[in-house]
Every structure is written in C-alpha cells, then in structure tokens.
Structure 1
Amino acid sequence: MSLCFLSLETGKVFNELILKELEKVGFLDLSSSLILIFPYIKEYENISISNLAKKLGYSRQAMHKNLKKLEELGYLTFVQQVNKKEKSILLTDKSEVLIEKADRFIEETQKNLSKLIGKEDLEKYIEVQSKIFDFLNEKNKA
C-alpha cells in the first residue's frame, strides 16, 4: 500500500470512528465530510468561508452547502466581516460540546494505540507523520 493511499484510508477510517462515537452520544445528522470542517473552524478562529473552502479543497458552492446544513443543525453561526463581502464562521455551544466529545475519543484512541504499539513508537509515528506533512506542504507551496 502506498504512503498516499495509506494516509487517505487511515484518515477516512479514523473519521468514521469519530462519527460513530459522536452518534452514540447524540450527535446525529452528521457525515464524515461535515465533521472534517470542525477542526478547521476551531483552529482558524474567525475563518472566512472562502478561506475554509481553500483549506479543505472544497468549491465555494460545496462549502456553502455544508455550512448551511451545519447552521440549520445548530452547530455554527455567521458573522459579517468588516469588508462586508465575507462572513466569518463561529462555533456554537453545541459544536463546542461536539468537539470536546470528539477530542476525548481521540485521546482515548491514542491511549489505546500507545498500549498496542508502545508509547515511544506512537510518538515516533506522530513525529514522522509531522515531518512528512511539513515536507509535502513545502513542496505544495513551491
């Protein structure tokens, strides 16, 4: 299995596990593509819709559709930016709880992986993945 395919499949399976866990605790009507949006909004506070679309590789239309659904479900709101052309995306209390639940599941998964492969190997894996990401990100910018 190639590095690229393995990374894609690992991310996909991890997101599906997070989604199942969120469904267990009452967060329904979400999809794997919708839960991908939350970490970006959390990381890049007051991010605009167009910048979020770029970060995720979505078209503006697809991003608007996804964000509209999340707004209807009560996960986010929009605030007009100073330039009046763009709106910032803000997380609601409901989405903050969702992120907290997802973070707990991720932490628990990391603990289980640490038991499975050993703490040092897991830390090394994270370090190597970070180096691969940085390398590929730099190549992408060039």
Structure 2
Amino acid sequence: MSICFLSLETSKIFNQLILDELSSQGFEGLSNALIVLFPYIDEYKGITTSTLASKIGYTRQAMHKNLIKLETLGYITFESGENKKEKAVVLTQKGSELMKKATVFIEKTQQELSGLLGEKGLQEYMEYQYKVVTFLTHKKSNNAQ
C-alpha cells in the first residue's frame, strides 16, 4: 500500500469515526465533506470562503455551497472581515460546541492509539506525519513556481 493511499484511508476512517460520534451526540446534517471544514474555520479565525476553498482544495462554488449548508444548519455565520469583498466565516455557538465534542473524541482516540503504539511510538508517528506534511507542502509550493 502506498503512503498516499494509506494517508487517504487513515483520514477517511478517522473522519468517519468523528462524524459517527458527532451524529450520536445530536449534531445533524453533517457529511465527510462538511466536517473537514471545521478545523480550518476554528484554526484560522475569520477565514474567507476563497482562502478556505484554497486550503481544502475545493472550488469556490463547491465551498460556497457547503458553507451555505453549514449556515442553514446553524454551525457557522458570515461576518464582515478585513476584506470588504468577502465575508469571514465564523463558528457559531453550535459550531464551537461541535469542535469541543470532536476534540474530546480525538483526544480519547489519541490516548487509545498511545496504548496501542506506546506514548513514544505515537509521538514519533505524529512527528513523522508533520515532517511529511512539511515536505509535501514545500514540494507543492516549489511546483507552483
């Protein structure tokens, strides 16, 4: 199995587990395409639709459609940001609560993985993942030039 395929499978399974957990806690209307947006919206406070689309790899139109759905479900809102042409995407109270619940689940899963791999093994895995992301990001930016 290639590193690319393994990374995709890991992400797909982990996201599905998070989605199942959130659904069991009453967070409705979500999909894999929608839950991947939350960490970016939470991390990059006041992110615009176009920046979010660029970070995720969605078209602006697809991103807009997903964000309207999240707004309709009450997870996000749009506010005036620094860029007057584009509004900032902001988590609502419901969206912030979703992030808290997801974080608890992720931390619990990390503890379980630590039991499987050992604390040192999990730390090394995370360090390797960070190195891979950094390497690939650098490679991507070099290819764009």
Superposed CA deviations along residues 86-108 of structure 1, whole A, max 9, x for unmatched, are 11011100000000000000000
Structure 2 CA distance for aligned equivalents of residues 82 and 139 of structure 1: 30
| 1:83 Cα deviation from its structure 2 partner | 4.0
Aligned mates of 2:86, 2:12 — CA distance in 1: 31
Partners of 1:81 and 1:46 in 2: how far apart?
7
Q: For 2:107, give the aligned amino acid.
A: E
Question: Hey, which bits of structure 1, 4+ residues long, moved more than 3 A?
Answer: none
* CA–CA distance in structure 2, aligned partners of residues 105 and 66 of structure 1: 24
Q: Per-residue deviation at 1:18?
A: 0.1
Q: What is the deviation of 1:80?
A: 2.4
User: What stretches of structure 1 of length at least 5 have no aligned partner?
Assistant: none
Alignment RMSD (CA, Å): 0.8
* TM-score, length-scaled by structure 2: 0.96
Residue of structure 2 equivalent to 1:89: 89
Q: Give the superposition deviation at 1:85.
A: 1.1
Gaps of 5+ in 2: none
Match of 2:104 in 1: 104
Change over 3 Å in CA distance of 1:110–1:82 after alignment to 2: closer
- Secondary structure (helix, strand or coil) at the match of 2:23 reads helix
Query: Which deviates more, 72-81 or 61-70?
Result: 72-81
Task: Name the % identity.
Answer: 56
TM-score by length of 1: 0.98
Is the alpha carbon distance of 1:83 and 1:118 closer, same or farther for their aligned partners in structure 2, counting shifts above 3 Å?
Answer: closer
Aligned length: 142
1:72 is the counterpart of 2:37:
no
Instruction: For residue 82 of structure 1, report the CA deviation from its aligned partner.
Output: 4.4
Distance of 1:102 and 1:122 partners within structure 2:
20
Once the two structures are superposed, the pairs formed by residues 32-51 of structure 1 within 5 Å of their partners are 32-51=32-51
The residue identity in structure 1 corresponding to 2:118 is G
